[in-house]
Structure 1
Amino acid sequence: MQENIQSLPLEDVIGDRFGRYSKYIIQDRAIPDVRDGLKPVQRRILFAMHAEGNTYDKNFRKSAKTVGNVIGNYHPHGDTSVYDAMVRMSQDWKLRHVLVEMHGNNGSIDNDPPAAMRYTEAKLSKLASVLLRNINQDTVDWVQNFDDTAMEPMVLPANYPNLLVNGSTGISAGYATDIPPHNLSEVIDATLMIIDNPNVTTEEIMTVMPGPDFPTGGIIQGKSGIKQAYETGKGKAIVRGKVEIEKLRGGREEIVITEIPFEVNKSTLVKRIDELRADKKIEGILEVRDETDRNGLRIAVELKKDANAEGILNYLYKNTDLQVAYNFNMVAISDRRPSLLGVKAMLQSYIKHQQEVILRRSQFELDQAKKRMHIVEGLIKALSILDEVIETIRQSKNKSDAKENLKTKYDFTEAQAEAIVMLQLYRLTNTDIVQLENEHDELKATLEKLEKIINDKKHLMSVIKRELKAVQKDFSEPRLSTIEDEIQEIKISKEILIPSEETIVSMTKDGYIKRTSPRSFGASGLYELGTKDGDVLLDYKESNLQDVLLVFTNLGHYIYIPVHQLPDVKWKDLGTHLSQIVPLTQNEYVVGMINVTDFNQEQSIMIATQNGMIKKTLLIDFNVTRYSRPIVCMKLKDDDQVITVQSITGEEHILVVTQNGFALHYSLAEINNIGIKAAGVKSINLKDNDKVVSTEILYPESDLIIATHRGAMKKMKIDLFEESKRANRGVVILKELKSNPHKVVNAYIITDDLNFTLSSSNETYQSNTKTIRNADRYTNGSFIVDEKEFGQIDAFNLLIADE
C-alpha cells in the first residue's frame, strides 16, 4: 500500500473538518426540519416503529427492540441517545401531544431517569400515525441509509404542523433553537387563515393563536414579546406557575402551586423554596410539601400565622423558578439550511410542504387508478367475448402462449392479458360483471377528482384544509396555558425578607456602629457601652430590623444602612467601623444619624454647616436602591463642614449659635425643600473669622446652654431670643471683651437637666446642667473650671441620658 502524506496548514485542516462537522450537526442532528418539526433521530424512531408495524392499534413492544432496530438500520449512534429521544417523545410534560406511547417508567417532571429500555414498552401514538400517513405513496423523497441496505424518508408527510404543536429545543454549532409548543387546534386555525389569506398579519394570526400552550400549563405574560417572536423568530415572554392561596384553620394560609413553568424541574423548585425557608432568606414560610399524586401536580407552601401571602408569593416569583423568562429562538431547517423564522414563515413552509405531499400522493393514486382502470377495461372486454377468450386459452400451449394469443387476436395489452389468464372461474358470474362495471364508474370518478386536484390549485388547497380540519376534529384539546397581556411588576416588601424585630442601634464619635438586642442593652446599661479609649457614644436609637439608618458625615455625605445588615453584637462589644461598611475619605467623620421607618413620611431632613449654610430636603429623596458608597447630601464650598443634621417636619423654630457669641432665632418655614445635592441657603450672616457652632431646634420651656473655650458656661431661657428672619446677624449672647474674649465651643437646647463633659487636651470635667445658673444675654456666664489649670476647652458634650 502506497503512502500518501500531505503537508497542509493546521488551520486549513481544522477549518475543513470542523466545517463538515458543523454542517452535519446543524442539518442532521440538532435542528428540526420546518416541514415535519422533527430532528433526524426523532424521524428515524417514528419511521422505524411504523415500518415494523409498531403502531397505536397494535400491542406494545419492548423499547429495546425499537432502539436496536433504529441503531441497526438508520441511526448509527449510541443506544442511550436514541432511547432518550424516544423517551422524550413519550413525556406529556415535554410535548403538547406525545408521539410515542410508553408503558413503564418514562421519567418524571422531577427529572428522574426513565427505566432501562429492557423494562419499558412502547408504540406509536395515534397522532404520530398522522405524521406518517401516506408515506408509502411517493409523498416524500427517500435516501439510502448509512450502509446502503435500506431506504429512509428525508422528511415525513406530516398532516399537521408538528413543529409549532410540539415545539423543539436543540443546540448545534453556531445555532440553537427554542420553539415553544402550541395548541394543535389553534395552530391549525392559523394555518387555515394563512391558506385563505396569504397576506394575513401577525395581529390577525394572534386572534386565533394568541401564544404558546405549554403541556405544564402556567400563565404566560407579555403579548408584545410573543408578537415580536411571531414576527421575527426572537422574543421573550414571562412564564409563571399557577398558584392559589388557600385558607387553613387557625387563620393561617398556604400557597398552593398546581402548575409550574415549562421545563422547570419540580423537585428542584421545591428544594429551592425550602432552602429559602431554612436559610431565613424569607420570613413567614412554615413548611414546604410536595403533594403531587396521580390526581395532578400540587406543591403546598404553608405559611405562618399573619404572614403576608401575596408578598411571599412575589418573592418566590422573583427568586425561584416559579417564574421564568422564556426566550423564543425559532430556528429550523428550511431548504436544507438553518433559518430564523416567524410563525407565518413557518406555516407557509408547512403549507408548501403539504402542497407537494398532496400533489405527489394524488399523482401516485392517479397512476394506480389508471393502471386499475386499464385492467378493469380489459376484463370487461374479455367478459363481453368470454366464449372466444376461453376457446383461445384452451387452444394455447401454456400461460405465456395464452397471453400472446390474447394480445394478437383481441388487442389486449400485456397487463390485461396477464389479468385475464389469472382470472378465477368464480369471477365469470353475472354478478362480477356488474361489480366490474361499478368499479369502472368509481375509477372514472376517482380519476376526475385526482386530475382536478393536480391541475387546480384551489381544489388542492381545499383538500389540505379538509384534512387539517379532520385532524383538528380528532385531536383538538382545550388550552392549558393562560395568556396575559402585560408582564406583572413584582414588588417585594421588606417585611417579607426581614423579621420585624426590635433592636438598639448605637454610633460612637469615632464611627463605630452596631445593633444590639434590647435584652443585652437592658442587662448592661447605657454607660457600659463597649468603646475604644477616648471614644464616646454619639447617639443611640431604638430601631427595628426593617428600618434604615441614615448616617451623616462632616463632608456632606450620608451612608444608607439597612439596620438588618448591621452586625448583631453585645452592648459591651465594640461594633464595626463605618469604613468597613463603606469607604470613607480622609478626615471624614460622623456628625449624626437618623433612623427611618418609612421614607414616605411627610418629613424633611435639615442639614446645617459651620460656614452658616442650611438646607431642607424631603426624606423620600434620601431613599436609594444602591448604597455601596457614601452618597452626596449637600454640596459644600471651600473648607465648610456639616455640623448638624436633624429630622424635622419643616415648621419648627431653630436657634443658630456662632463661635463669636451671636444667636439667631427663626422659623424653618422660611426655607423651602430643595434637592439632595443642592448647596442650601444662608442660615446666618457671619462676621469675618466667625463660624456656626450649633443649629438646634427650639422647644417650649427650653434653655440654651453654652460653654466657652475659657471654661465658662451659661444657661439662658429661650424666651430671651425673639424671632427674627433667616440670614440676619442675630443677637449677642456674650459680653464683649476687648482682651481675651470668650469663644463659644458648643451650644445645646435642653428641656431637662443633663450630665455634660468639658474636655481640654489635659483633662475632662463632668457635671450636671442644674449646677449652671440662668443668666441674661449680656454676661459671660460662670467659670466652671479654672482656665489656667484646666487648659483651653476644646469640647463640650451633653451625655445621652442621666445615669
Structure 2
Amino acid sequence: MSEQQFGDERVVDVDIAERLEQSFLDYSMSVIVGRALPDVRDGLKPVQRRILHAMWEAGLRPDRPHRKCASAVGDVMKKYHPHGDVSIYEALVRMAQDFASREPLIDGQGNFGSIDGDGAAAMRYTEARLSPLAMELLAGLDEDTVDFVPNYDGYEAEPVVLPARFPNLLVNGSSGIAVGMATNIPPHELGETIAAARHLIHHPEATLDDLMAHLPAPDFPTGGRIVDDGGVRTAYETGRGPITVEAVATTETRSGGLPRIIVTEIPYQVNKATLLERIAEHVKNRKLDAVRDLRDESSRDGMRIVIELKRGEDPARVLARLYKLSDLRTTFHANLVALVDGEPRTLRLLETLHAYLDHQREVLTRRTQHRRDQAASRVHVLEGLLTALAHLDEVIRIIREAESADAARNELMGRFDLSEVQATAILDMQLRRLAQLEARRIQEEHDDLVALIAELDAILGDPTRLDGLLSEELAALAERHASGRRTRLAGPGEAPEAASAPVAVGEEPLPELGAQPITVYASRQGYLRSVPQKRTSTAHGVPKDPVATVVRATTDDVLLLVDATGTAYRVALADVPVVTMRQRGSTIAQLLGEAPAAPIVGAIPLRAETASLLTVSARGLVKRTAREEFGGRARRVGAAKVKDGDEIVAALACGEDDELVLAHDAGHAIRFPAEEIRPMGRTATGVAGLKLPAGARVVGSSVVSAAETEQAEILALAEDGSARRYPLDELPRQGRGGKGVQAGFTALAWCGVATDLHLVDDGGARLLRPAEVPIGRRTGRSAERVAGRIAAVGPERGAV
C-alpha cells in the first residue's frame, strides 16, 4: 500500500483483493450478528428482541387491549430497527403463529396466516399484543438486569439481550441463514426444558443421558411423531443431527368395507395445501393406485385429512407407502448454531443450557443488587424520618425559625448529622405523618426493609442460595405456562394398532403412538375437546354448550360417553385431535359418523382398573354394570334402560369397595356403600339409590374410593351461587334407597365429593375450585357466595 499527495487531497493505493476480503468479512459478520442468528441467552434475533421491547414500551401487554400491528411495526422501525417494515412485520407474524412457534410470544388478533401457506393480512388490518409468556422474557427489564446500548441514531437505548426468565432458544427454536452458516434449532416443550435446566442447576456435572431423562426430544407445535433412530441424541451430543418426524394418522374401515386413513397431525414446517397437492399428483401418476378420494376436512377445531381407499385395500400398507412418498414423513436437520459472547458457535445441549443458566445467574444477581440498592436507599430516607420523629419539637423549631427551605435543610443536616436526601425528605414530609399510627408504619416499613436487605445480602453472598432461587422461579414459571408435550415419541420399527384391527405392514413398520396424558372436556351437545394435561384444568369458556364432565385420561384410552337416554358411545381418544383451549374440539358425529340422540351426561375411560360402570337417573335409580359388558368394537351400545318420564343424569366409574354420594335439588344427600348395588346387565333400569320428593331430581352424584374416605370432603353448591365445603364424615352412612340428610341448602345446584366444577352462571362460563370455598359445617352459617345464579354444573372427575 502506498500514498500520494495531490494538494490538500491524499490518494492511497490498496490491494483490491484485500479490501474485498475485509469488506465481505465485515458484511458477513454484520449479517450473522445483526440479523440471522439468535443469542444463546434469550433465543432471539435482533429484530425479534426489538419488536418485543418496543411493544413492552408501548404498553401492549396481555391485560390491555390489542393494537394495530402497523403501530408496533412503526415504533420498531422508528426507534430500533433501521430496515424495511416488511421484514419487521414478517418477524412479528411468525412470533404470533401457533403452528410456527411452540409458545407464541405475540397474541395476535386477525388473519395471521395458516398452515396451508396463506399469508397474513396487511399490518393495518391485524392487531397484536404481548403474550403472557413474552412477559417472562421481559420480566426484570426495568431492574437493571441487562445492559442497554444506544440505538442506531443515538436517540434511544435498547437492551443488548432480554432477561429471558425461561430458555427460549430451546423452547421456541430458531431458523436462519447467514453468510456462510445457518441455524435450525428445533422447539421443545417448556416444562421438559425447564426440568432439564433445573436438573443441571442441582447437578452441574450431569451427563447428556441425565438431561435426556427430562428432555427426551424436541416438541413441535404441529404435533406429529418423532421416530427416534438416534438422530435426537446425535443432535444433542454434537449440535447437528437428523430428526425423523412423521404425521399422526389412524386407519379404519367404514361401513361397506371401505377403508380410509385419517391424518390429524402433520410434521413441523410442512405446508398442508402443498402436501395434499403432492399426494394428488402421486394418485394421478398411479403411484398410489389404492387411493380413490382425498379431502381436507380441517376446521378451527383441528386438522383432519381424509384419504379414502378402494375396497379391499390394506390401509396400513397404504399409509406406509404415503410415509415413503410424501411429506407425511420428513427429516428435520437440527443445527444448533447461536451467538455466544457475540460469536457464532455450534452448541451441544449441555453447552446451551449452561450458557443460559450463566445468563440467568447474572440476571438474578443484578436484579437482587438492584432491589438491595433500592431498599437501602429507602431505609436511608426512613432513618432520617425516624430521627425527625424522635426529635420532633426540635425539628419543628428549626423549620419555623429558618429563613428559607435551604437554610432549614442545612440546619437539619448540621444538627442531626443527616444527609441532604434525608433532610429533604423531612422537609417534604406531610403533617399527617406526625400521627402516632403513621410513625409506627414508618418504623414497621424500616424494619421490614432491613430484614429484606439482610435476605438479599445473603443471596448475593451465597451462590447456592442464588441457584436455589433460580430453580424455584423456573419451577413456578413452568407451573404457570407449561402446556404438555404435543409431539409423540416412538422407537424405530415400533408398529401401532390400526383403528379397525391390528395389521401387519411387512417391511415398512409404522411407529407406535405414545400415550399422552390429556384432559378431555365432554360437552352436553357432544363436543370432545382433548387438551394436553396440566396439574390443574382450565375453564371451559363456552356458556352456550356447558360441560357435562371433564376427565383425566391418555391418548391410549377408549372413552365411553353416555347420553340422557342411556345410550353409550365408544370413542378411541387416539382419534380425537389434541387441541388448545381456544379450539372447541371435535363432535361425536365427526368421530363416529352419528350424533348422540340426547345430551351427553357422563364419560368414563374404559381402563383395566375400571371395575364397573355406574349410571344414575334423575329419579334416583342407580345401576352398576361390569366393564366387560362394554367390550367389543361396537361404537354404539346401550348402557341403561330408562323408564318413561326419567332420564340418565350421570355416568361414573365405580369399584366394589367404593361409596356413592347422591343428592337431589330439594336439598338432601345420601351416602351408602356401592356393594349394595348388585351388578346388572346393560338393559336393566337399576334400583332405588335415593328417595326423592315429588318434583325433585338428582343433581349430584359422586363415587368415593375406599382409599379416600378418611380425607374426602363434600362440596355443596346452591342455585344462587352459595357454596359449602365440609368433611365427608358429616354425611352419615345409610342404607341404599333412604331419604338422606340435609346437605347444606334447600335449593341445590350440585352436591358431591369436592372437585373442580365447571359452571355456567349469569356471568358466563367459569371454574370453581374447592379451595375457593372455606371449610365449614354441613349446616349453620358457613356458606360462601362464590358465583352468580347457577345454570349448569359439570364436575371434573379425577381433578388434582
TM norm structure 2: 0.61
My pick for the range that moved more, 304-313 or 473-482, is: 304-313
The separation in 2 between residues aligned to 1:107 and 1:193, in whole angstroms, is 38
1:366-400 Cα deviation digits (max 9, x unpaired): 11111111101110110111111011111112221
1:324 to 327, 330, 348: 330
**Partners of 2:259 and 2:314 within 8 A in 1:** no
How far 1:9 sits from its partner (Å)? 2.5
Answer yes or no: is 1:241 the counterpart of 2:247: yes
**What is the one-letter code of the residue matched to 2:427?**
V
TM norm structure 1: 0.60
Answer yes or no: is 1:103 the counterpart of 2:109: yes
When residues 117 and 4 of structure 1 are mapped into structure 2, their CA distance, relative to the original with a 3 A threshold, is: farther
**Partners of 1:22 and 1:172 within 8 A in 2:** yes
The within-5 A match list for 1:156-195 is 156-195=162-201
1:454 to 450, 453, 460: 460
The within-5 A match list for 1:46-445 is 46-445=52-451
**Partners of 1:41 and 1:75 within 8 A in 2:** yes
The separation in 2 between residues aligned to 1:272 and 1:249, in whole angstroms, is 28
Answer yes or no: is 1:11 the counterpart of 2:32: no
Q: CA RMSD in A?
A: 1.8
The separation in 2 between residues aligned to 1:368 and 1:468, in whole angstroms, is 24
Q: Secondary structure at the match of 2:13?
A: coil
The separation in 2 between residues aligned to 1:399 and 1:40, in whole angstroms, is 50
**Partners of 2:148 and 2:157 within 8 A in 1:** yes
The separation in 1 between residues aligned to 2:128 and 2:406, in whole angstroms, is 49
1:218-240 Cα deviation digits (max 9, x unpaired): 00012521111111111112100
Give ranges in structure 2 of 5+ residues lacking alignment.
1-6, 497-503, 509-800
The separation in 2 between residues aligned to 1:296 and 1:194, in whole angstroms, is 37
**Aligned residue in 2 for 1:720:** none
How far 1:489 sits from its partner (Å)? 10
The separation in 1 between residues aligned to 2:229 and 2:428, in whole angstroms, is 67
**What is the one-letter code of the residue matched to 1:152?**
E
Q: Secondary structure at the match of 1:6?
A: strand
1:588-618 Cα deviation digits (max 9, x unpaired): xxxxxxxxxxxxxxxxxxxxxxxxxxxxxxx
The separation in 2 between residues aligned to 1:220 and 1:355, in whole angstroms, is 34
Q: Secondary structure at the match of 1:122?
A: strand
Give ranges in structure 1 of 5+ residues lacking alignment.
496-803
The separation in 2 between residues aligned to 1:4 and 1:127, in whole angstroms, is 57
**Partners of 2:316 and 2:505 within 8 A in 1:** no
When residues 318 and 90 of structure 1 are mapped into structure 2, their CA distance, relative to the original with a 3 A threshold, is: same
The within-5 A match list for 1:636-785 is none
How far 1:408 sits from its partner (Å)? 1.4
The separation in 1 between residues aligned to 2:8 and 2:151, in whole angstroms, is 32
The separation in 1 between residues aligned to 2:495 and 2:482, in whole angstroms, is 34
**Aligned residue in 2 for 1:536:** none
**Aligned residue in 2 for 1:542:** none
How far 1:5 sits from its partner (Å)? 4.2
**Partners of 1:236 and 1:327 within 8 A in 2:** yes
Q: Secondary structure at the match of 2:339?
A: strand
The separation in 2 between residues aligned to 1:485 and 1:261, in whole angstroms, is 17
**Partners of 1:274 and 1:287 within 8 A in 2:** no
Count of residues in Structure 1 that have an aligned counterpart in Structure 2: 495
Q: Secondary structure at the match of 2:231?
A: helix
**Partners of 2:175 and 2:185 within 8 A in 1:** yes
The separation in 2 between residues aligned to 1:460 and 1:50, in whole angstroms, is 27
Q: Secondary structure at the match of 1:143?
A: strand
The separation in 2 between residues aligned to 1:51 and 1:184, in whole angstroms, is 26
How far 1:492 sits from its partner (Å)? 8.8
1:162-199 Cα deviation digits (max 9, x unpaired): 11011111110111111110010000000011011111
When residues 133 and 494 of structure 1 are mapped into structure 2, their CA distance, relative to the original with a 3 A threshold, is: closer
The separation in 1 between residues aligned to 2:458 and 2:332, in whole angstroms, is 46
**Aligned residue in 2 for 1:43:** 49
**What is the one-letter code of the residue matched to 2:15?**
P
How far 1:494 sits from its partner (Å)? 12
**What is the one-letter code of the residue matched to 2:438?**
D
The separation in 2 between residues aligned to 1:99 and 1:74, in whole angstroms, is 19
**What is the one-letter code of the residue matched to 2:458?**
K
The separation in 1 between residues aligned to 2:322 and 2:21, in whole angstroms, is 47
**Partners of 1:231 and 1:343 within 8 A in 2:** yes
When residues 4 and 84 of structure 1 are mapped into structure 2, their CA distance, relative to the original with a 3 A threshold, is: farther
Answer yes or no: is 1:31 the counterpart of 2:31: no
**What is the one-letter code of the residue matched to 1:112?**
D
**Partners of 1:224 and 1:485 within 8 A in 2:** no
Q: Secondary structure at the match of 1:251?
A: coil
How far 1:246 sits from its partner (Å)? 2.4
How far 1:485 sits from its partner (Å)? 2.2
When residues 419 and 221 of structure 1 are mapped into structure 2, their CA distance, relative to the original with a 3 A threshold, is: same
The separation in 2 between residues aligned to 1:5 and 1:273, in whole angstroms, is 65
**Partners of 2:252 and 2:315 within 8 A in 1:** no
The separation in 1 between residues aligned to 2:506 and 2:456, in whole angstroms, is 69
When residues 73 and 487 of structure 1 are mapped into structure 2, their CA distance, relative to the original with a 3 A threshold, is: farther
* Aligned-pair identity (%): 43
The separation in 2 between residues aligned to 1:327 and 1:373, in whole angstroms, is 56
**What is the one-letter code of the residue matched to 1:424?**
Q
**Partners of 1:241 and 1:261 within 8 A in 2:** yes
Q: Secondary structure at the match of 1:46?
A: helix
My pick for the range that moved more, 260-269 or 311-320, is: 311-320
How far 1:7 sits from its partner (Å)? 2.8
**Partners of 1:238 and 1:487 within 8 A in 2:** no
1:56-83 Cα deviation digits (max 9, x unpaired): 1111111000000000100010100000
**Aligned residue in 1 for 2:744:** none
The separation in 1 between residues aligned to 2:63 and 2:234, in whole angstroms, is 42
**What is the one-letter code of the residue matched to 2:150?**
Q
**Partners of 1:56 and 1:124 within 8 A in 2:** yes
